[in-house]
Amino acid sequence: MNKRFLIPAAIALALGGGFTTLQTSGALAQASSTPAPGAQAPAAQAPRAHRNATSHVEGRIAYLKAELKITPAQEAQFDKVAQAMRTNATERQKSFEAMRGQNQTHSAVDRLETGVKLSQERMRAQERYLTAFKPLYDSLSTAQKQTADSLLAPHRGGHHRHRA
């Protein structure tokens, strides 16, 4: 996997999804979900975008659980974090599907209103994740907290700036 995607993916993972996830996951999901030449998906399967979003969030959950080394005693708290991540992914998917369904020209005001709506949705998602994550964080060992802190460290979307 390309290193340039790892840091934004870790941040998105830690936040439970969001704009960074969409930027990063699109390329990763596209690369990992491309069917073999000549292969066809069964008609009964969910739409491709939904499958990618679902499998991606499950991968993020598994990654977070492994990186934090969640113990059996922490499982119940972690399950709440995982559910918040799933809910955030589902809500985000619904929002983007609704926007895709609008085949019309958008004015500057329409685009600004859409931006505000997306910002509000992103804030609700972060609040949902924080509500679930705080009790888990409180139950973590010092080493686990250090790992969580590094996963949540601000990396500016993976763009590291060098000072002259």
pLDDT for residue 136 is more than 90: yes
Q: Which of 5-19, 61-75, 101-115, 150-164 has the highest mean pLDDT?
A: 61-75
Could you tell me which residue, 98 or 14, shows the higher pLDDT?
Answer: 98
Q: Which of 25-34, 97-106, 143-152 has the highest mean pLDDT?
A: 143-152
pLDDT digits (tens, 9 = 90+) for 77-86: 999 999 999 9
Q: Are 93 and 49 in contact (CB under 8 A)?
A: yes
Which are the contacts of 49, defined by CB distance < 8 A and separation ≥ 6? 93, 97
What phi, psi does 17 have (nearest 5°)? Answer: 115, 175
